[in-house]
A and B are shown apart, each in its own frame.
With several copies, the nearest count.
Chain A
Amino acid sequence: MSILLDQSNRVLVMGVTGNYGKFFVTDSGGYGTTVVAGVSPGRGGGDVDGVPVFESAHAACNATSADTAMVFVPPHLVRAAAIEAIEAGCKLVVATADEMPVRDTIEIRAAARANGARLVGPNSPGIISPGKAKMGFMPSFCFMRGPMGVISRSGSLSYEGSKRLTVAGIGQTTVIGIGGDPIKGTTAAEALALFHADPETKAVMYLGEIGGTEEAAVAEYAARKDAKPVAALIVGKTAPPGKKMGHAAALVGSKADSHAAKTKMLAKSGVYVCKGLSDLVPQAHNALAAAS
């Protein structure tokens, strides 16, 4: 099994006629993702690589029973497209866009909550269940099917981390990019709960950063008696305090946000903390060993 995504998701692409939308249809379709529809207001009636284009998410969902949406529109339009997909009935919406105002994400989350839907992202690589389906632009060769759930706050780091696991023979149930923004459609805590419930996931690799409070949730989960083993890499050891490191959430504001505080807290909760990228595979092995 996997979490959130497999071949059974019927995917609708919001903004399907843009460059990203078109590439996604071809790339993820080739990977196995079931892409059933696209939306592009004013351009309904056509198709993109065989996928029919509709005027609205409502029309698309009615015609194709789409239940999952991938959003590829400019940052200032993501809120509109995501909420449209949610209110048309999509239960999972993935938004990879960065440069989104955080208030927009808050509004999407509120709409998702009101409609029993889930947002993944924004400012995230998306989500991939290796060998089944992907929602995003991850380089497919970095991933393979296996027992480890991966949660990442950063896109490129999730590629780097997953490739290291794959090369070492450790496959993944699902790799979920929760994104680098301070408000997330799906938090680390929520992703952990999903992996916890997934029987195929034996252990979890968490790729985190300085700043924010996600890591506290990881420690909290790891401290549970019934927790699956968790390994974690926290980047930003060499980042100076008080400076924003790209991600809006990657800023050491208070002492609890620092690399030292986070790794200490995680280790204390029984997390296999990686000393750096080079230590990722050994700690993943440790976590998996603890699972058996």
Chain B
Amino acid sequence: MMILEHEAKALLRSVGVAVPRGTLIKPGTRAPRVRDYPVALKAQVRSGGRGKQGGVIRVDNAKALKAAAKKLFATSFGDEKPEVLLADPWLPFDRELYLSVTIDAAAEGYVVLYSPKGGIDIEDGPKPARYPIGAPWKFRTHELRAVLETVEKDFQLRERVISLAQRLVETAAARDCHTIEINPLVRLKDGELMALDAKIVYDDWAHYRNADILAQRDGERRRADKLLRASLEMGHMYVKLDGDIGLISGGAGLTMGAMDTIHQLGGKPACFLDASPGPTSTRGYKPAFALLDGDPDVKVILVSVFGGGTHMNRVANAMKANMATRKSKKPVVFKLDGTYVEQVPGIFDTFGAKNHVSLEAAVKEAIKLAKRA
């Protein structure tokens, strides 16, 4: 999960990385404690491309700050409105760099990426230099130096970048981060490096050994509405889309495969909902049904599960129990397959449900029902 810029900067500060001494501004703050102007007022949102969407405003005095804050709080970035703003001192610098540490399959672990020209256009520029590390303890300053030798000619700057990169690798490993990206990393007039912006993506699954990650996950759930929260607490993964066929599936790949099939056959998926991480019991599927039943955009629900360790007799029984207590009248289409699927028709017969044999048939049925609704 991605954390906010000011949270990422706090983490970097805690490991000795220089970041601006910014001020947090919450909605309704009458007199923000900003002493020196100008400042960069920055919307704290998780979506990318904030800079290009006007999410950073240079502000020269208290009055302008008020106006800019009002404007940013009212702006949506992607599907997100900022809950807080960060006012960072506007610092003069003479170079803008890009430095990140992330994980990479080919590197078998961590990789350092560096570009001597950072900033908001980084994606359009030449590819950053790449230092594959693998396990974090295999980081070697001399190897990174060799990678950067032709990339960064200023050797004093290069040495600072190398030390910083090592700190970031150690931090990514110690704090279970998928990515720590500093863009721009700037060189101040005195030669020191400072992280003017920072993006950190935590490893969700390290929540048991990092209380910060647990708190972020709890925050994510707190921000969700009641119906979604119940589903998230079951471990489900959910992304809302703009269609009308509510999809309850298992496994990310098949869920996307079903979404694509719906699209291909002329329908529109209402969501990505992977219910496989939850328990395959009545309890496990209940919040998924409640979520889609409660969503007025959803006209029909398609349950598409292909289980190996997930046994289909259990899933079929869970469906039966859920259908019995469900109040919504939205139609449900089933396509269950996998281990013990031979027991499904017998169970489905007891409550009048039909199990489609092919995904295409199930999707066609769902599209038909959605159009009719």
Q: Which residues of A contact B (CB under 8 A)?
A: 20, 23, 41-43, 55-58, 75-77, 80, 83-84, 87-88, 96, 98-103, 106-107, 109-110, 113, 125, 136-139, 142, 152-160, 163, 180, 182-184, 187, 189, 207, 209-210, 212-214, 217, 233, 235-240, 242-250, 254-255, 275-278
Contact = CB atoms under 8 A, between A and B. Distances in A.
30 contacts: A41-B158, A80-B162, A83-B142, A99-B277, A101-B206, A102-B205, A103-B173, A103-B176, A103-B203, A106-B109, A106-B135, A109-B108, A136-B308, A139-B308, A139-B341, A155-B251, A155-B308, A156-B254, A156-B305, A159-B307, A160-B257, A183-B104, A183-B109, A184-B105, A207-B253, A213-B106, A235-B259, A235-B260, A246-B237, A278-B261
Contacts of A99: 205, 277
A250 to B, nearest CB: 5
A188 B274 CA distance: 24
B70 interface: no
A42 B93 CA distance: 23
Interface in B85-113: 103-106, 108-110
B126 to A, nearest CB: 14
A137 B308 contact: yes
B322 interface: no
B105 A277 contact: no
A97 B44 CA distance: 34
B300 to A, nearest CB: 17
Contacts of A255: 123
A109 B158 CA distance: 27
Given A75-B205, A80-B142, A159-B338, 6 more contacts: A80-B162, A84-B141, A182-B104, A209-B253, A246-B274, A277-B360
A217 to B, nearest CB: 8
Contacts, number: 223
A254 B123 contact: yes
A42 B156 contact: yes
Contacts of A80: 140-142, 162, 166
Chain B interface residue bracket vs A: 35 or more
Q: Which 9 A-B pairs have the closest CB atoms?
A: A154-B253, A42-B155, A246-B252, A156-B251, A157-B253, A137-B308, A156-B254, A137-B309, A80-B141
B362 to A, nearest CB: 12
A138 B308 contact: yes
Nearest to A96: B309
B82 interface: no
Contacts of B257: 157, 160, 233, 235, 276-277
Contacts of B263: 237-238
A142 B123 CA distance: 43
Interface of B: 47-48, 78, 103-106, 108-110, 123, 134-138, 140-142, 145-146, 149, 155-156, 158-159, 162-163, 166, 173, 176, 178, 203-206, 208-209, 237, 239, 241, 249-257, 259-264, 269, 272, 274, 276-277, 305-309, 337-339, 341, 359-360
B155 A247 contact: no
A42 B158 contact: yes
Contacts of B163: 76-77
Contacts of B203: 101-103, 248
A255 B48 CA distance: 13
Contact of A110 (B134, B206, B253): B134
